[in-house]
Chain A
Amino acid sequence: MDLIWLIPVLPGIGAALNGLLGIRYFSKPVAAAIACATMGGALLLSIFAFAQLLGAEHREHVVTLAHWIPPIPLQTVDGLGAFEAPWAFRLDPLSGMMILIVSGIGFLIHLYSSSYMDHEPRGGYVRFFCYLNLFCFFMLTLVLGSTFLVMFVGWEGVGLCSYLLIGFWYHKKSAADAGKKAFVVNRVGDFGFVLGVFLIFFTFGTIDFREVAEAASQMPVESAAFGVLSTICLLLFVGAVGKSAQIPLYVWLPDAMEGPTPVSALIHAATMVTAGVYMVGRNAVLFSHAPMVMTIVAVVGGVTALMAATIGLVQTDIKKVLAYSTVSQLGYMFLATGVGAFGAGAFHLMTHAFFKALLFLGSGSVIHAMNDEQDMQKMGNMKLYMPTTFITMFVGALAIAGVPGLSGFFSKDEILAKTFVASPWLWGLAVVTAGMTAFYMFRLIFMTFFGEYRGPKWGGDAEGQADGDHAAAADDHGHDGAHVWHGPHESPKLMTVPLMILAVGAAVAGYVGIPPIIGDFVGVGNAIEHFLEPSFVAESAALAEEGEHAVAHLSHVVEFGLMAFSVLIAGLGIALAYHLYVRRPKRAVELAENWAGAHRVLTNKYYVDEAYNSTVIKGTMGSARGLWAVDRNVVDGAVNGAGWLTRALSWVSHVLDKYVVDGLVNLAAWICAEGSYIFRRGQTGLIQNYAVATLFGVFACATAFLVVRFMG
């Protein structure tokens, strides 16, 4: 376990190699091999570390790599404190689970990308892997960080990589803009996070997670007053909202779909966006001492989940649907943490990582097959052309829809159950969302894979087949635009194998968290909750007791009922989707026309972007203009006045200089020039004349010597 620092460093090395040398020298396979190998190494180390953690008595391990910031005396509540930040990595159940997710899914996506990005020119290809590796480096730093500051390094790093990768095709204006948007919106959240960290240090005099948690557990639960802990939590939550795309800062995530699809899968579905959830989970103790903030978290999560789901209902861009779905599922996770079910949130985080990565990669495969077409209206009947992708994506959709037996069912159901205990209202919200989720997911599946093919035509089948070899050969030669599309086709092995692995994961990952009512029958406990417990619960005795108490109140019957109800809702959603998009496709159009107003609102995503544009952006720009006017008139005026004064003074000095000082100098020069006529005669420029002069000198000396000798 002492080698856990290598887990983030390995992809870092890969990024450095590819970035410093690769872009100039490496061929595509070499770059991909380096990236995949470093990620594979990180995955192996992660598995190894995780296995050791499972076997360890004390499930927490901190490795301090080096001193980063030496102790700096800073003011805190309790007088001077030492602000100190070692480069320390912490391996505990929560971070253990996270590194497995990040390195595992990261590795699969590296593999997938090596094929998916093959159409890129060599430089871009290597650059992509450099960014991807760099992202994994920062993400692993984030989850392994032992202090808020190390975590913040990762936090900002993944933000940077997200920006780079969204804007990977930077020559496309929309991509560049989306990158900027993601970056700017994240800044808002990061600002809150930084403030939160400041406040933590000011309050506790330390920024180490464990020490903070221990200190916080000694403080009373702020159920009545909005105290310092609540403030901290609110600020941290602002950070989480930014990173995890919750209301009101979710707007960047759908736009982030401009990036390459593997990026969307890795960063904007499986890992980075869950950093907010992870962070809240990591600070479970703090949050459980601030029930008011918890409520805010739950409400924000619930509302986000519902709102994103409604938008997702009408989107036609396959990646946008998945993006809103991600926002919605993240809302779910926050809902779970908000109601105190940190374990359930983390559990959903894990299952979501599997099926959402799967869905994104599957959609990437489809997009790839359709020659970069993302509009679902132009797809259809793809199951004919790409069976593997279809099957794996279907499994993913089933999982996210919460069909019993698959992973989504377990995690979502647990959240629902916990929510019901906390607040039936929120439960209602969540159930409706679940139904919508099932609907739009299957709408996606049906529009893409079923029905008639609606895409562009390509060369006749026979011809296409005959030219297959030729096309492959052409692909080998160059990627500069000469790529000819020969109709939808199944993706290469390198892309489908990760899909299959993820599909298996999406199917079975839920079995680590079987809910007690089923687990009791088969004699298996909720393994993951039990496993994650030390990270969340131990310290917050008060809340834990309350939670236990509440759950205990939920009878098996009610729980079964809830479960059945949610399954029913999901089933309804699927059925509705089938009805509207397979059985009677015209009906969907009619519906949209009948409900034109609502449809328009949903298609335009509630006009949130426009609202932000007219308020926040316009406001910022207006105030900037005002400030500029002040700057120009007042500040510049003062500076110009000073300038004028200087010039006036210098004119006086100039006159003096010109007639008095220069006059003296010129006089001296004139004297020299006039006098030099006499001496210039000797300077003939003939070297030999000078030599004669030298010789004459020698002659004189010799003569003098002789004279002295003979006379003396």
Chain B
Amino acid sequence: MEITPAHYTVLSAALFTIGVIGVLVRRNIIIIFMAIELMLNAVNINLVAHAQQVENLVGQVFVVFVIAVAAAEAAVGLGIILAFYRNKETVNIDEMNVMRW
């Protein structure tokens, strides 16, 4: 059976869903960040697969940008986590509610 972009898309959707579930279910914010990385990767798989299919490298170009954004997000996000951890001694997202009403 030939592998079509549809296969990749479904794989990507599944990976994305796992990421979404991680974001929604886990309470450790570091793991939530990792789930977000999974989601970004799902998107990347999609982009690369379709780039190959349409024989156009633009999709890959955008993967490069996604990776750059992911790096920036990880750096800043983890910086915030560390700063938060220093003040509150926790990384539980349920306890991060000081900005609530």
Contacts and interface: CB of A to CB of B under 8 A. Distances in A.
A688 B93 contact: yes
Contact of B96 (A683, A687, A692, A695): A687
Interface string B87-101: 000000110110111
Contacts of A688: 23-25, 93
A683 B24 contact: no
Contacts of A680: 101
A680 B20 CA distance: 26
A684 B20 contact: no
A685 interface: yes
A324 B26 CA distance: 96
Contact of A683 (B20, B23, B93, B101): B101
A462 interface: no
B97 A691 contact: no
Nearest to B96: A687
Contacts of B24: 688, 691-692, 695
Contacts of B23: 688, 691
Contacts of A684: 100
Given A692-B24, A695-B24, A687 B101 contact: no
Interface in A692-711: 692, 695
A686 interface: yes
A685 B100 contact: yes
A480 B39 CA distance: 73
A257 B48 CA distance: 90
A687 B24 CA distance: 9
Interface in B44-101: 93-94, 96-97, 99-101
A692 B24 CA distance: 7
Interface in A658-689: 680, 683-688
B34 to A, nearest CB: 15
A686 B20 contact: no
B28 to A, nearest CB: 12
A571 to B, nearest CB: 94
Given A692-B24, A695-B20, A685 B93 contact: no
A391 B99 CA distance: 90
B29 to A, nearest CB: 9
A682 to B, nearest CB: 10
Nearest to B20: A695
Contacts of A691: 23-24
B20 A685 contact: no
A329 to B, nearest CB: 78
Contacts of B93: 686-688
A428 to B, nearest CB: 94
Contacts of B99: 685
Contacts of B100: 683-685
A688 B20 CA distance: 10
Contacts of A692: 24
Nearest to B24: A688
A691 B20 CA distance: 9
Interface string B19-49: 0100111000000000000000000000000
A496 B100 CA distance: 84
Nearest 5 pairs of A and B residues by beta carbon: A685-B100, A685-B97, A688-B24, A683-B101, A680-B101
Interface of B: 20, 23-25, 93-94, 96-97, 99-101
18 contacts: A680-B101, A683-B100, A683-B101, A684-B100, A685-B100, A685-B101, A686-B93, A686-B94, A686-B97, A687-B93, A687-B96, A688-B23, A688-B24, A688-B25, A688-B93, A691-B23, A692-B24, A695-B24
Interface of A: 680, 683-688, 691-692, 695
Given A685-B99, A688-B23, 15 more contacts: A683-B100, A683-B101, A684-B100, A685-B100, A685-B101, A686-B93, A686-B94, A686-B97, A688-B24, A688-B25, A688-B93, A691-B23, A691-B24, A695-B20, A695-B24
